[in-house]
Amino acid sequence: MNIFLTGSTGFLGGKLIKNLLEHKDNEVYILVRNVEKAERLRDSFQAGEQKRIHIFQGDITSPDAGLNRDDLEWLTGKIDAVYHLAALVKFDLELRDELFAANYDGTRHILELAALLGVKKFYYVSTAYTVGKLTEGIEELYPTDGEFHNPYEESKVKSEHLVFSYRDKMDVSIFRPAIIVGDSKTGEADSQFTLYGFMRALGVFKRKAARRRGDERTYRLVAAKNGTSNLVPVDYVADILSLAPEKAQADTIYHITNPNPPENIELLEMLKDALQFDTLSVVENTGEYELDEEEVKLNRLIDVFKVYLAGALTFDDRNTQELIRGTGVAHLEMPKETVEMIIRTGCQADGKITV
């Protein structure tokens, strides 16, 4: 197949491209803003694979994804399937316009491009957290007027509806990963977002606190101890996505989630150990205590992540279980030791966290 990808130079993109190229007849066409970065990615592959990676400069926030007329003419009628991975992953309320420009308008531009090129299959990579403030995730569209924690979630819900509005023009499928973390075998990661952003925020606070005070003291972090953090390894996500051309059903949503996610108290203990932040403690929001000034700063620093520490979400992934049936991809089992390895590797790889 000839497969077109956005977001190919991101955390997940390289893993997915590697999987897609394992099928010797696949050619991969990637849309990028930064050609030099894309060339570095291509150079990381074997020589034979490099010849099957084709780079096109563009921008999802522009009509026709910023492709010039010659590129559009050349691609028309040649592309079998599109993976739309590119997205802005930020949770700040004041970034709503920027988030919608990237996530909603960007999706619209790629859908319009896919229709123009005559593409038959469209795979949209969304997020499991389109669930918003509901407590159970289902493999169906959520209402656009639901309750959301932040504009990121809202932008992705509305983008999902936009994708489904094109199902009369092409087969569309939606994949919803939860919190993507490092490789389950090596811990390797390349991300500044979600868990890694949380780790970085804790590491920054620890360093500043160490410079500010010479004595040991405890810092309280407010979280639901029995809430869960739904972590999924990047290789598991890529493995499921790479099944799409042969197995994904049209008008179907697939959760790529963890059936047994770690509880927050377990996860935070692992982070404490990896960061050597022994004076960090986790407390429930009981209203029976008052945080001091430095603890307020700590909790504000990670404020955008705290909604994902507040409850125990569950996700139905029966569509995904059916997708992987009879393939070499097993339903996710992620033991505590794997989570610890991923966190430890992430800290070791980032001097800003461990210094």
- Separation between Cα atoms, residue 172 and residue 88, nearest integer Å: 21
- pLDDT, position 12: 93
Ramachandran class of 77: left when φ > 0, alpha when ψ lies in -120 to 50, beta otherwise? left
Contact 348, 354 (CB under 8 A): yes
pLDDT at 353 (0 to 100)? 39
Spatial separation of the C-alpha atoms in residues 345 and 271, rounded to whole Å:
11
Predicted TM-score (pTM) of the model is 0.93
pLDDT given for residue 310 in this prediction: 73
pLDDT at 286: 66
Q: What DSSP state is assigned to residue 131?
A: G
Burial 230-246 (b: 16+ CB within 10 A, else e): bbbbbbbbbbbbbbbbe
Q: 344: closest CA among 189, 194, 211, 229?
A: 189
**In this structure, what token pair is assigned to residue 86?**
């590119």
Could you tell me the CA-to-CA distances from 82 to 4, 109, 139, 287 in Å, in that order? 5, 12, 21, 50
Burial of 46 (0-12, 13-18, 19+ CB in 10 A): exposed
User: How many angstroms separate the Cα of 159 from the Cα of each of 34, 48, 113, 124, 155?
Assistant: 24, 36, 15, 9, 6
pLDDT means per 10 residues, the chain with 355 residues, are: 95 94 94 96 95 97 96 97 95 94 98 98 97 96 96 97 98 96 91 78 84 74 84 97 97 97 88 89 78 88 76 93 97 95 83 38
pLDDT value of residue 352: 42
Distance CA 91, CA 64 (A): 27
Identify the structural domains of the chain with CATH numbers, from first to last: 2-177 (3.40.50.720), 194-229+261-312+334-354 (no CATH)
pLDDT score of 355: 30
Do 124 and 110 touch, CB atoms closer than 8 A?
Answer: no
Q: Cα-atom radius of gyration of the chain, to the nearest Å?
A: 21
DSSP string across 143-164: PTTS--SSHHHHHHHHHHHHHH
Q: What pLDDT is recorded for position 198?
A: 83
Q: Burial letters for 310-338: b for 16+ Cβ neighbours within 10 Å, e otherwise?
A: eeebbbebebbeebbeeeebeebebeeeb
Predicted confidence at residue 351, as pLDDT, reads: 47
